[in-house]
Amino acid sequence: MNTLVENQPKTDGHDPHGAAQEIDWADYRDHLTTADKDGNRRWVYAKKPAGFWYEHRTHLSWLLIAVMFAGPWIRIQGNPLLLVNIVERRFSILGQIFWPQDTLIFAVAMLLFFAGIMIFTTAFGRLWCGWTCPQTVMMEMVFRKLEYLIEGDSAEQRTLDATPWTRSKVLKKGFKHVVFFAASFIVGNTLLAYIIGSEQLLHIQLDDPRNHVVGLTFMVLFSLLFYAIFARFREQACTFICPYGRFQSALLDENTLLVAYDQKRGEARAPLHRNETFSQRRAEGKGDCVNCRACVAVCPTGIDIRNGVQMECVNCTACIDACDTIMDKVGQPRGLVRFASLNNISHGTPQRFTPRMALYSVVLTGLISLFLYLVFTRCDVDTTLLRAPGSLFQVTAEGRIENLYTMKVVNKTMHDIPLTMRLENLPGTVRVMGSGEFIVPAAKLAQTSVLIELAPTQLHQANTKLKLGIYNAQGKLLQTVTTAFAGPRESGHHEETEKHENERR
Ligand code: SF4
Ligand code: SF4
């Protein structure tokens, strides 16, 4: 005999003043569950989840939060783990410094990102959203938990919101918002550290504020943005702002693993009466769903999973835990709400690797291989060698031919690189103008003038192809660049050409 008694709620549990509001359970197709028919917001009072999946999600979120906050301070070979400095156009991923010049790598990385999303969503639905997305992790595992600590579980929160403003309510709400803003300030600063780098962030924080008006303004803006998201927008950030939820329906198919309600087993849903057995229920055509709405009560996006796949569902699995708890109580097998595909629920077919997934996997593997190849064969420097504007060639007193070039070098590492140059395909001399030393500062672009000198006997046409090797201080070849060397039309005519050049000057 079970002890679960009919407990059909009369409200949707989202409106603090909803005690007197009757719910039309069938109107979910007409509007978002978090908005009423007039478009007004219905606040979601999600009940604190508990259970197998929530426990695992909590452990994973600790790891993710630790990585997220430590990320800007972690260095790999002296480079940040992740840096997305859009302002200075410097990027570091897993300690590898990228420049805007690395367009091919960026293009492949973007393709990889989108292909990864496609295959992951096709196979596992929106697992990313519920389990690893920073917005969900911070909302559910930090801000929501702070709220439970300060205001209590959903019932207490609803009661608090419905009561008139008293001193204790002002204190409680005020305290919650101060804590929320402090947490948002930490999140905002972390994001800023990913953009400008942790050293720069520390510098802004510790230096005279008058020197960092822009940086401090962004610090406040980011803090306010996150405060607004976590204190106010919450699930609306996923529903209205994030594009991923919008296009997921184009990626899902009947074999996609989703958080799903087994309607074959659960319907017809009906409250469980005292002393009613499940054999009696089945004889009466009732299903295993006892219509307790525990799955709805815990949903952070306020939806009813029994209505099928919905845009708002972030696959957080809270409803699985809630329903499993109810099934344990009523003595029925777990899994009325579970991870399953439509085919699995409708036809009992096991999860399978579909041709669509296979195709995506091949594309993804190819892109990963290409990306790794490009990253690990990438030069530490990126050199551009162009003949100096307006110059052609010069003939020295010894009769050798000279060309002047402008050399630009991007240093993609976080240490200074002294460079030397050598001709690779012809004998000749290469001289750096000025001090004769060329050091490219860490993560910077440097420019110099380079004079290349060849014997006229090396030249057999007006333009001779040159290969210039760029070496570091240890003599390691970093890059080879090609350029054209201008000379007299015929090598024997260089004296005539010298005269011509001198006349031109
Ligand atoms: S329906 Fe379930 S899995 Fe989807 S968001 Fe709500 S609680 Fe999470
Ligand atoms: S928690 Fe399970 S039994 Fe209760 S309403 Fe949801 S699906 Fe039905």
Domain ranges for the chain? 47-101+133-251, 258-347, 381-504
Residue 236, token pair as written in the block: 């609306």
Ligand 1 center to 160 CA (angstroms) = 25
- Please name the fold of domain 381-504: Immunoglobulin-like (2.60.40)
Q: Is the dihedral of CA 188, 192, 198, 202 positive or negative?
A: negative
Residue nearest to atom 4 of ligand 1 (CA): 313
Residue 104, token pair as written in the block: 């091919």
Pocket test for ligand 1, best of 135, 304, 311, 317 (most atoms within 8 A of CB): 317
C-alpha torsion 29→30→35→40, nearest 10? 180
Ligand 1 pocket by Cβ (under 6 Å): 130, 259, 298-301, 303, 305, 313-319
Q: What is the pLDDT of residue 28?
A: 66
Q: Which ligand is nearest to the CA of 319?
A: 1
Q: Which ligand is nearest to the CA of 313?
A: 1
C-alpha torsion 349→350→351→353, nearest 10? -90
Q: What is the pLDDT of residue 229?
A: 96
Residue nearest to atom 4 of ligand 2 (CA): 292
Give 139's contacts (C-beta < 8 A, 6+ positions apart).
Answer: 229, 230, 234, 300
pLDDT per residue of the chain (505 residues) written in tens, 0 to 9 = 343 433 444 444 444 444 434 445 556 666 777 777 777 888 999 999 999 999 999 999 999 999 999 988 988 877 788 888 877 777 887 777 777 778 888 888 888 888 888 888 888 888 889 999 999 999 999 999 999 999 999 999 999 999 999 999 999 999 999 999 999 999 999 999 999 989 889 999 999 989 899 999 999 999 999 999 999 999 988 888 888 877 777 788 888 888 999 999 999 999 999 889 999 999 999 999 999 999 999 999 999 999 988 888 999 999 999 999 999 999 999 999 999 988 889 888 776 777 877 887 788 888 889 988 888 787 888 899 998 888 888 898 888 999 999 999 988 877 889 999 999 999 999 999 877 779 999 878 899 999 999 998 888 888 889 999 999 988 899 999 999 998 886 654 444 444 444 444 4
Q: What is the pLDDT of residue 490?
A: 60
Query: Concatenated DSSP letters for 288-342?
Result: S-----HHHHT-TT---GGG-S-TT-----HHHHHHHHHHHHHT--S-SEEEE-H
Ligand 1 center to 295 CA (angstroms) = 8
Q: What is the pLDDT of residue 278?
A: 93
Of all atoms in ligand 2, which is nearest to the CA of residue 319? 1
Residue nearest to atom 5 of ligand 1 (CA): 313
Q: What is the pLDDT of residue 271?
A: 94
Pocket test for ligand 2, best of 326, 327, 334 (most atoms within 8 A of CB): 326
Of all atoms in ligand 2, which is nearest to the CA of residue 288? 3
